[in-house]
Amino acid sequence: MLAKINDFEIDLSKPIDISIPLTNTDENPIAWYIEKPVIEPVVFGDWIGKVSEGKSSTNFNNIFFNPHGHGTHTECLGHITNDFYSINQSLKLFFFFAKLITVEPEEIGDDLVITKELLEKALSTSTSLSVTALVIRTLSNEKEKKSRKYSNTNPPYLSEEAAVFICESEIQHLLIDLPSVDKEHDEGKLLAHKAFWNVKDTHNLNNDARLNATITEMIYVPDEIEDGNYILNLQIASFENDASPSKPILYKI
């Protein structure tokens, strides 16, 4: 099934799903010191909302999870602001021209850092597209990213200068295969988040803060997916919350 976007043709029958599914098993990735998600049937007295238990005609589960710590999620600047902003109100368009790049974070002291220089090099190839979304795959790219336990492991992160560069490049939607664009233990500075959203003061939001820009974290891009230009379909659940679990889909142009 073919579709055209601005004269570019994509095959809708060949989606490239770069999200990580949410499960209640030990295979679920975890960040930020929480336990795995809980998915369990509703219980009313002797009634159990699970067909295999023989007491219900339907499966009827409760799900307890945290979008930031339990898998692929998309967040808006409401993640760091005093005032409430919702991802459901911030993200109103869902198809974007995107560029996928692969970078190997630079070792700086005890940290692995995605620097401005790494991004400049990866983005140096010319493109005729007006790219508004950037997908970053980091090396090494083990499949274990899909089930990794990130808490207290000091994962790689973006430098503040790299986030400023992305902002100034007019990238509206940043997707990355890490639990955060910022250092795990950073004393609450959140330098990359603030730089990407152009937030000067989280308690008194500046007029030029990027209200419609989003960050998607904890994606996974398999090695066989080549760097280059794609159409991105960024799907979220309609939560009135700073973040939502999400399902970013790439389509080869």
pLDDT (mean) for 181-185: 98
pLDDT of res. 126: 53
Kindly state whether residue 217 falls inside one of the protein's structural domains. yes
Taking only the tens place, the pLDDT of each residue in 35-82 is 999 999 999 999 999 999 988 999 999 999 999 999 999 999 999 999
- Is the predicted pLDDT of residue 155 greater than 70, yes or no? yes
Kindly state whether residue 133 falls inside one of the protein's structural domains. yes
Q: In angstroms, rounded to a whole number, what is the distance separating the alpha carbons of residues 121 and 142?
A: 23
- Domain count within the chain: 1
232's torsion region: left (phi>0), alpha (psi -120 to 50) or beta? beta
Kindly state whether residue 32 falls inside one of the protein's structural domains. no
| CATH code, domain carrying 206 | 3.50.30.50
Q: In angstroms, rounded to a whole number, what is the distance separating the alpha carbons of residues 197 and 164?
A: 9
Mean per-residue pLDDT of the chain: 95
Domain that holds residue 209: 2-21+68-252
